[in-house]
Structure 1
Amino acid sequence: MTRSAIFVGCAALPEGDGDEAAVLPALADLGFTVSWAAWDSAADFASADIVVLRAAWDYPERREEFLSWCEDVPGLSNPAAVVRWNTDKAYLGELLDAGVPAVPVEIVPPGEKPRWPKKPFVVKPSVGAGGRGAARFSSAGADAEQHLRALHDEGRTGLVQPYQSSVDTQGEIAVTYFGGVYSHAFTKFAPLESSMDTSGLYREERLAAAVPAPEVRAVAEDALDAACGLLGILRAELLYARVDLVRGDDGRPLVLELELTEPSLGFRHADAGAPLRFASAVRQQLA
C-alpha cells in the first residue's frame, strides 16, 4: 500500500534545512511518497495520509494564523492541541508545577514588571523559535528593561530565566523520542551572541552526537510523562519529541525546553538507525 506524507516547512525553508535527507528513503522503503510544502502554501494538505511539522519556524510572528491552519489539517503530527500548548513557553511553568526539574521561569505579560534575578539572566519572548528575540544580561538595568519593553511594545509576553553557565562549557543536550520511545541524543552549542542562519530563522549551532547520562535521561523521561499527563494523551501519540536540558549550578540536569512542535531532530548527528526508527513511528501513527 502506498501512502503519502507531506513534510511541512515555511516560506524561507520550504524543504527544511536538509536534516531529514536520510528520512525520505527510509519512508520510501515503507511505501511512503514524501513531498515538502510551506505551511502557508496552496498545497493540498488534506490529501495526505499524514502531515508532519518539520521546519515551520516562522510561526512566532503569525502564531494564531499558524494554529488556525494546524486545526484545519487532518492527520497533523504532532496534533494541533499539542502545538497550541507547546508554542507558548508558559508551559514551562506547568512543568515546574508538576514537579519536573526545570530552569526557573518568570512569565511577564505586557504591563507587568519582573523580579530581576540577582545573577545573569535571559529575557526572551514566550512565543519564539530559533533564539530570535532572546538576549542575555549580566544584571538588571536599563538594557534588560529596554529589551523587555520592546517585546511588550509588540504585544508579546516575556520570559525571564536565570542563565545557566554550563551552556558555555557543556552546551545543551537534546534527548529525542519517536512515538514516545527514546531514539538518540545530541549536544547543541548555540550562544545567544552567535549569528543568525542565512534564512534569518535560527541562530547557528554546533551539534554533535551524544549519549545522555542516566540522570539526564531520567529527567527527560519525567518531562515527557508530565507533558503527556497535562495534555491528556499517551506518549505514543507524539510522533516526535525533543527534551533540551542543561546542567544547573549544582550539576543537576534541568529542562530548558520541551520541543513538541517543530524541533530539529538531529538526524545528521544520529546513528544510521534513527531515520528507520522515525519512519517506523510515522507508520505507527497511521495504524
Structure 2
Amino acid sequence: MNIALVTSSAFPGSDWSDRDTPILRASLNEQGCTTQILEWDDSDGIDWTMFDVVAVQSPWSMWLKLTQFREWVDSLHRQGVRLANPHPIIVSGMSKEYLPEVEQHGARTIPTTVVRPGERIGAVAAETLARAERDFGEAAVVVKPISSGGTLGAARVTEEQDLVARLTAFDEAGVTACVQPYVSSIDSLGEYGIIMIDGAVSHAITKDAILAPGREGTQFHPNARAGYTEHGEDLTDIHNAYDAYLKTVPVHPVSVRLDFLRHPVTGRLLLLEIESVAPVKFFHLYPAAAERYARSLITLAAASDLVRH
C-alpha cells in the first residue's frame, strides 16, 4: 500500500505543530505500508494518482490560502484520487456555515450567526450580544471568519461598538464572519474534543480556553490532555450531534473531531464545531488510536487497489 500524508510548507503560527503525522507514519510502516509526507502547497511535479490513499493531515496553511487549497482538493478529486476524508467532507468543512444546518437536524449547538458582507451589522451585533446574555448569562461573544482554524482572526468581544468595528472590518474585506456566544464554562472546564473513527467514538481530550479574559495562551490546542469529565447524558449528545452532521453531508467521513462546550446551567454538551478537513487526533495521548486509524487508511487503500485492478 502506498499512502501519502499531507502537510504544509509552513504553518500559520510558530506554536502550531503536527504531532500526529510522525506517529501515524510509524504505525502505517509497521503494518507494511509505504508512506510519504508531502506538502500540499509545494507539490509541483507530484503525481498524486500514484497513491492508494491521500490522507490530509496538517494542511493548515490553507487558512491563509483558501482559494489555492480548494483548487488543489478539487484537482485531486477530478483525477480520481482517493482522499481521506472524502472530497465532499473536506469541502464542507472549510466553512463553518454547516453549523446552523447541523443545528436544524437536531444537534445541541452553540448558536452560530453567519454574517455575510453587506448584511446589517449593527442589528446583528446588538442581537447576538443580547442573545448571549439571555441564554448564557453574559454579554460576550466570539467573532471570527467563517473559514478559519485555531483562533486565527478570532476575538472575544463584550462591547457592541467593538463587535460592530470587527464585523465592519470583515465586511470591508469581503469576508463572511460568524458570531457565537462565549460560553463561560470553557474557562473552568475547558473544551472537549471527541474523535470519531469509522463512525464510532475512538477517544476524547480536553484542552484549555484560548480566549479566556486575562489569559495569555497559545493558539493551538493549549494544555491538551487525555479524557474529559463525563456526565450521564454526554454520549446521547455526542451521538445526536454526529448523526445530525451526517445528515448534512453526502458521504461518511473516515474521521472527524467533534468539539463541545458544557452548558453552564444545564450541563449538557453543546457542539462548538466539527473539524473534518484535517482533525488533530492527539495520537501522542492515544497511541492505540493511531493504529486504529492506520487500519482504516489501509482498508481504504485496499479498496483503491481493487478499483485500479
Match of 2:240 in 1: 222
Match of 1:269 in 2: 285
Match of 2:133 in 1: none
Query: Is the 8 Å Cα contact of residues 24 and 294 (structure 2) preserved in structure 1?
Result: yes
Q: 1:53 to 1:167 in 2, by over 3 A?
A: same
**In structure 2, C-alpha distance between the alignment counterparts of 1:134 and 1:22, rounded to whole Å:** 30
Sequence identity (%): 29
**In structure 1, C-alpha distance between the alignment counterparts of 2:217 and 2:31, rounded to whole Å:** 39
Matched AA of 2:129 = P
**In structure 2, C-alpha distance between the alignment counterparts of 1:21 and 1:9, rounded to whole Å:** 11
Match of 1:175 in 2: 194
Larger radius of gyration: 2
Matched AA of 2:97 = A
Aligned: 1:208 with 2:225: yes
Match of 2:152 in 1: 132
Match of 1:199 in 2: none
TM (norm. structure 2) is 0.83
**In structure 2, C-alpha distance between the alignment counterparts of 1:163 and 1:124, rounded to whole Å:** 12
Match of 1:71 in 2: 74
Structure 1 segment 93-242 matched on structure 2, within 5 A: 93-112=100-119, 113=121, 114=124, 115-118=127-130, 119-141=139-161, 143-192=162-211, 194-196=216-218, 202-203=219-220, 205-211=222-228, 213=230, 214-234=232-252, 238-242=253-257
Query: Is the 8 Å Cα contact of residues 4 and 49 (structure 1) preserved in structure 2?
Result: yes
Shift of 1:217: 2.9
Matched AA of 2:141 = F
Matched AA of 1:34 = T
Query: Is the 8 Å Cα contact of residues 105 and 244 (structure 2) preserved in structure 1?
Result: yes
Shift of 1:94: 0.4
| Deviations 1:4-37, CA, capped at 9 Å, x for gaps | 1111111115996223332222111222111111
Shift of 1:179: 1.6
Which segment drifts farther, 98-107 or 114-123? 114-123
Match of 2:97 in 1: 90
CA RMSD of the aligned region, Å?
A: 2.0
Q: 1:256 to 1:204 in 2, by over 3 A?
A: closer
**In structure 2, C-alpha distance between the alignment counterparts of 1:79 and 1:158, rounded to whole Å:** 26
Query: Is the 8 Å Cα contact of residues 196 and 257 (structure 2) preserved in structure 1?
Result: yes
| Deviations 1:30-85, CA, capped at 9 Å, x for gaps | 22111111112223322111111111112123223212211222111111211111
Unaligned runs of 5+ in 1: 197-201
Matched AA of 1:173 = Y
TM (norm. structure 1) is 0.89
Query: Is the 8 Å Cα contact of residues 6 and 35 (structure 1) preserved in structure 2?
Result: yes
Shift of 1:194: 4.1
- Which residue of 236, 249, 253 maps to 2:264? 249
| Deviations 1:152-178, CA, capped at 9 Å, x for gaps | 222111111110001100111100011
**In structure 1, C-alpha distance between the alignment counterparts of 2:47 and 2:229, rounded to whole Å:** 40
**In structure 2, C-alpha distance between the alignment counterparts of 1:275 and 1:204, rounded to whole Å:** 18
Unaligned runs of 5+ in 2: 131-138, 304-309
